[in-house]
Amino acid sequence: MARRQSSGLILWLLLGVIALIGYGSLYPFDFRFDASHPTFKAALLQLTWARAGRADQVRNVLLYLPFGFCVMLWLRVRSGAIWAAIIATLLGSLLSLSIEILQVYLTIRVPSLRDIVLNAAGTSVGALAGIIWRGLSGLVYMSPNSRNRPGDRSALLLICTWVLWRLAEFDPGVSLSRLKLALRPFMEGSYSLPMIVKYLLFWLVIAQAVLSFANRQRSNEALLTVIMVVMIGRLLFVTQPFIVSELLALLLLLPTLVVLHKLRGTPQTMLMTLAFVAWLVYESLSPFVFIGIDHQFDLWPFLGWFEQGMPIDPDQLLRKLFIFGAFTWLLKENGLSMRSAMIAVVATVFSLEIVQLWQAGHTSSLTDPAIALVMGSLMRLSGNDRASRSNSLKRS
């Protein structure tokens, strides 16, 4: 039963990827079926080895990576890894051939056999990534009792906050030009180590939250679903869809999870919490240049927003809600009650605001502590903290 459910989840992801490929390859769908290509053979003869630019070649490979990945995961429950990879590559080639033939009837497209080869290569790489994902995800330690434990609803709230933040700059105007611009960061290759560490830390927290909420059989597929929802959602509906540092962090996510789960239990959670605190201090106080008191402390939360006509930035608000919620949840995972964790986070954020009084260019107020209090209260109200702690005590 678990395999059927997992396979069904991957199938929906696969259908979404196929729809995305079709949209990106056939938009604006102004087909012209006329007597110039009356048969399948005539259309097939229109395919040439026309060369594309370097950017288009990279896009052709990357566009089919998710297809090979999803097909590999879907077929893996029915056949061996090698056969699944071969079948995935053949299906990717067949899909690419079908789309290239349809492009014969689109005046703005240049159908090419070279594109089919590149698409097949992308499918193969995606299938290989699927094999690696399946192998590494099997090494992630799951408690034997996780099947029967209730889902952590505070973890679910944290996951939802993360998804809303990553899709906060929502712009429903899907277009072909946006899909092309989305892959520009791959060509530019701009990234930074601090950004990679930040996104890796965020995704590690989300991975832990997913593992805490989902049952044992579907946890890896649930994590994959969250990743795909965020990535595809940003691709379709966010102006700046991809951040290279975040994509590199995602490549490191599963290997890092495997290493962390070797620790198991308290040491693993403690290490993640210490890393998160270190990042929060760095983010709040960098570049650590202190002078005399540079400004006053604003005792009225959100006063600056009111004075500027309440220009609430959803991206910044959801970002802070997620960061403070992640900190609260990690402390709870270390054994604190949700109430104690909430108090600790508010106190930490308040202390950082006080220290920022001695830094130029910063503003200090009760706004961030108030946001931390709101998020902690929501997590406390959402959940089954007492039930989880009671079950944990019984198991121990």
**From CA 259, how far away is CA 278, in angstroms rounded?**
20
Q: Which two tokens stand for residue 239?
A: 């102006």
pLDDT more than 70, % of the chain: 74
**From CA 95, how far away is CA 70, in angstroms rounded?**
14
**From CA 196, how far away is CA 122, in angstroms rounded?**
24
Q: Supply the pLDDT for residue 147.
A: 43
Position 393 confidence tier, pLDDT thresholds 50, 70, 90: very low
**From CA 368, how far away is CA 324, in angstroms rounded?**
9
Which of 93-107, 165-179, 216-230, 341-355 is the most confident on average? 341-355
Position 338 confidence tier, pLDDT thresholds 50, 70, 90: very high
79 or 21, greater pLDDT: 21
How many contiguous H segments (helices) and E segments (strands) does the chain have?
17, 2
Position 384 confidence tier, pLDDT thresholds 50, 70, 90: low
* Contacts of 43 by beta carbon, 8 Å cutoff, 6+ apart: 37, 101, 104, 105
Which of 51-60, 91-100, 282-291, 312-321 is the most confident on average? 91-100
Residue 248 one-letter amino acid: L
pLDDT digits (tens, 9 = 90+) for 17-58: 888 888 777 877 777 776 565 566 666 767 777 666 666 777
148 or 82, greater pLDDT: 82
User: For the residues of 312-344, what is the DSSP string, one character each?
Assistant: --HHHHHHHHHHHHHHHHHHHHTT--HHHHHHH
Average pLDDT score over residue span 355-372: 86
**C-alpha torsion angle, residues 302, 307, 311, 312 (rounded to 10):** 0
pLDDT digits (tens, 9 = 90+) for 109-165: 777 788 889 999 999 999 998 888 888 877 765 554 444 455 788 999 999 999 999
Position 84 confidence tier, pLDDT thresholds 50, 70, 90: confident
Position 181 confidence tier, pLDDT thresholds 50, 70, 90: low
pLDDT digits (tens, 9 = 90+) for 236-273: 777 777 788 888 899 899 889 888 877 766 688 899 99
pTM across the whole model: 0.79
**From CA 195, how far away is CA 186, in angstroms rounded?**
16
**From CA 171, how far away is CA 344, in angstroms rounded?**
37
pLDDT digits (tens, 9 = 90+) for 207-227: 999 988 876 556 777 888 899
385 or 375, greater pLDDT: 375
> How far, CA to CA in Å, does 204 sit from each of 121, 257, 302, 304?
30, 7, 31, 33
**From CA 82, how far away is CA 69, in angstroms rounded?**
13
Q: Which two tokens stand for residue 362?
A: 């910063």
pLDDT more than 90, % of the chain: 30
3-state class of 396 per DSSP? coil
Q: Looking at the predicted structure, is the pLDDT value of residue 370 above 90?
A: yes
